[in-house]
Amino acid sequence: MDQTTKPRRTQAERSAATKAKILDAAQSLIAKRGLAHTSTQDIAGEANVSRGAMLHHFPSRNLLIRAAYADMLQREVTLVRDFARTLPPGRDKLKDLTYYIWERYQSGVFHVSMDYISEARVDMEELNYVSVESQKFNDALNDVWHIELAAFGCDPELRQAMMNEFMCLVRGMAFQSQWRKEPEYFHKMLRDWLARAQGILIPEFTAR
């Protein structure tokens, strides 16, 4: 046997790869076109898979969109955790996390979330699904936030309150940025929040 020949993938590996391609395509198209203008046929074409292959993994549009939403949030959590692991010790972790999370909200994550939540709000079953998956995402971000900022010694409830405030700010900014193309306007809000947060979460910061 040629030693350079790659081993053949198992059926499970091929299936997982196909599923990943479909989810990638769904997230990409929804971010670009919007959920209302993205069909399952479009997604199959973007993923370069047959409609039958797509239906094998996701028998309905509803299940596909659900899976795309959950997969996207899981990926975002992984990105934030991986980013946090690279941060050096010191107070700049607050600044780094602030700007990195805002950067991620400028990507497709906000567009896909906004479209799916908007569609789900009139369907209680879908809204419950959104609630569960979004809470998992929030809990994971909270874990990163608390772990990285615990060294500053501030009260955990205070950290949580500041995190909640920050995420509400970021989501509102992301929504407004859809039509207001003024980067400095949003960066000023981030700087103002960060300056206040540093004074609250890192008391010694203001003394320097």
Asked if the structure places residue 131 within a domain, the reply is yes
- Domain identity same for 37 and 140: no
Q: Is the per-residue pLDDT at 3 higher than 90?
A: no
Q: Is the per-residue pLDDT at 204 higher than 80?
A: no
Asked if the structure places residue 160 within a domain, the reply is yes
Asked if the structure places residue 22 within a domain, the reply is yes
Asked if the structure places residue 80 within a domain, the reply is yes
Mean pLDDT score of the chain, rounded to an integer?
Answer: 89
Asked if the structure places residue 2 within a domain, the reply is no
Task: Please report, for the domain that includes residue 25, its CATH number.
Answer: 1.10.10.60
Asked if the structure places residue 5 within a domain, the reply is no
Quick one: 154 exposed, middle or buried, by C-beta within 10 A (0-12, 13-18, 19+)?
A: middle
- Domain identity same for 51 and 95: no
pLDDT digits (tens, 9 = 90+) for 62-75: 999 999 999 999 99
How many percent of the chain have pLDDT more than 70? 93
pLDDT digits (tens, 9 = 90+) for 143-190: 999 988 887 778 899 999 999 999 999 999 999 998 999 999 999 999
Q: Supply the pTM of this predicted model.
A: 0.85
DSSP calls for the chain = --TTSPPPPPHHHHHHHHHHHHHHHHHHHHHHH-GGG--HHHHHHHHT--HHHHHHH-SSHHHHHHHHHHHHHHHHHHHHHHHHHTPPSSTHHHHHHHHHHHHHTTSHHHHHHHHHHHHHTT-HHHHHHHHHHHHHHHHHHHHHHHHHHGGG---HHHHHHHHHHHHHHHHHHHHHTTT---HHHHHHHHHHHHHHHHHHH-GGGGG-
Structure tokens at 58: 């996701």
- Domain identity same for 24 and 115: no
pLDDT band at residue 1 using 50, 70 and 90 as cut-offs? very low
Within 10 A of 48 (CB to CB), how many other CB atoms are there? 11
Structurally, how many domains does the chain consist of? 2
pLDDT digits (tens, 9 = 90+) for 101-149: 999 998 888 888 989 999 898 999 999 999 999 999 999 999 999 988 8
Q: Which domain holds residue 199?
A: 68-207
Asked if the structure places residue 1 within a domain, the reply is no
pLDDT at residue number 8: 78
- Domain identity same for 186 and 99: yes
